[in-house]
Amino acid sequence: MMEFDVLHDTNKTLCFIGTSYMNQQFYNYFKELRSTELVTWEHALTKPQAWFDARQFHAAISNTGFKKQVVESIAGFSPDYFSIIGSSSFIDPGAKIGKNVYIYGLNVLTSSDICIGDHTIVTTQTVISHGTIIGNFSYVSPFVYTCFCTIGDGVAIGHRSSIIGSINAPISVADCTNLITNSIVTKNIDVAATYYGNRLVSKENSLEKCIL
């Protein structure tokens, strides 16, 4: 069984918002260990400030647009968010990991100059290498490799993709970009849309088209 650790833990009840497969998996794991709840988004929206104050929250949702909608809808309650890290992942102690981040098992984050933004998901068997900055609300699929790149907010990266910059020529990927399966990105992507590598496939961005 995969084991998980909690990051940014306030020792309050763990509350998972949404009935996604990932949230259900986490609920089933943590309910045996500590006070844990699984609630629908609609249920959370009916609750008062005191309910939010008594809990810490996580929303593991792969659809970028829907996750933003959930997070923004409860922002007025100033909820505490915690992150979940698969115990089998190797993460350099200096790497910066945001809140409401999910990093599954068997990943490698190689160096202290890595930064993972809030509300981002890193699935499994990825290598996030030197000089990688990933923004908020992004999604990294299995078998992805990144180095010397800045990945914007809301970027969805498909399976077996690579974003390959260098220390002298780092790469940037625009907010809300989709990179479909087997993409290899070797130069900047400046306009949000859906790409296969650096080739434009569709003008739809990750808020308009879910590729996951």
In the predicted structure, residue 147 carries a pLDDT above the cut 90: yes
In this prediction, residues 66-77 reach a mean pLDDT of 96
Last residue of a domain, one of 83, 107, 134: 83
E strands, 123-170, where?
Answer: 127-128, 132-134, 139-140, 145-147, 149-151, 156-157, 162-164
Q: What CATH number is attached to the domain comprising 93? A: 2.160.10.10
Mean pLDDT, the chain, as a whole number?
96
In the predicted structure, residue 1 carries a pLDDT above the cut 80: no
Cα separation, 128 vs 147, whole angstroms? 6
Last residue of a domain, one of 62, 83, 104: 83
Both 74 and 94 in one domain: the answer is no
Question: DSSP 3-state assignment of 181?
Answer: coil
What would the pLDDT profile of 127-138 be if each residue is shown by its tens digit? 999 999 999 999
In this prediction, residues 21-32 reach a mean pLDDT of 95
The single residue listed with the structure tokens 């220390």 is 167
Cα separation, 132 vs 184, whole angstroms? 15
Report the pLDDT value the prediction gives residue 2, as an integer from 0 to 100.
Answer: 81
Percent of the chain with pLDDT over 90: 96
Both 193 and 90 in one domain: the answer is yes
Question: DSSP 3-state assignment of 27?
Answer: helix
Structure letter (DSSP) for residue 71: H
In the predicted structure, residue 165 carries a pLDDT above the cut 90: yes
Distance of CA 109 to the CA centre of its chain: 14
Both 93 and 196 in one domain: the answer is yes
For residue 209, tell me if it sits in a domain. Answer: no
State the amino acid at position 186 in one-letter form: T
Rounded to two decimals, the pTM is 0.95
Both 22 and 74 in one domain: the answer is yes
For residue 210, tell me if it sits in a domain. Answer: no
The band of 60, judged by pLDDT with boundaries at 50, 70 and 90, is very high
Kindly compute the dihedral angle of the four CA atoms of residues 187, 191, 197, 200, in this order, to the nearest 10 degrees: -130
Per 3-state DSSP, what percentage of the chain is helix, strand, and coil (rounded to 5)?
15, 35, 50
Both 177 and 106 in one domain: the answer is yes
For residue 35, tell me if it sits in a domain. Answer: yes
For residue 2 the two structure tokens come to 């995969």
For residue 116, tell me if it sits in a domain. Answer: yes
Distance of CA 13 to the CA centre of its chain: 21
In the predicted structure, residue 126 carries a pLDDT above the cut 80: yes
Q: What CATH number is attached to the domain comprising 66? A: 3.40.50
Number of domains in the chain: 2
Both 36 and 93 in one domain: the answer is no
Both 113 and 187 in one domain: the answer is yes
Both 53 and 126 in one domain: the answer is no
Last residue of a domain, one of 83, 104, 137: 83
For residue 9, tell me if it sits in a domain. Answer: yes
How long is the chain? Answer: 212
For residue 98, tell me if it sits in a domain. Answer: yes
Both 158 and 90 in one domain: the answer is yes
In the predicted structure, residue 55 carries a pLDDT above the cut 80: yes
The per-residue b/e assignment along 59-80, b for 16 or more CB within 10 angstroms, e otherwise, is: bbbbbbbbbbebbeebeebebb
Owning domain of residue 166 = 84-202
In this prediction, residues 86-102 reach a mean pLDDT of 97
Both 42 and 102 in one domain: the answer is no
Both 79 and 89 in one domain: the answer is no
Both 124 and 169 in one domain: the answer is yes
The band of 123, judged by pLDDT with boundaries at 50, 70 and 90, is very high
In the predicted structure, residue 53 carries a pLDDT above the cut 90: yes
The band of 141, judged by pLDDT with boundaries at 50, 70 and 90, is very high
In this prediction, residues 160-184 reach a mean pLDDT of 97
Nearest C-alpha neighbor of 122 from the set 166, 74, 170, 161: 161
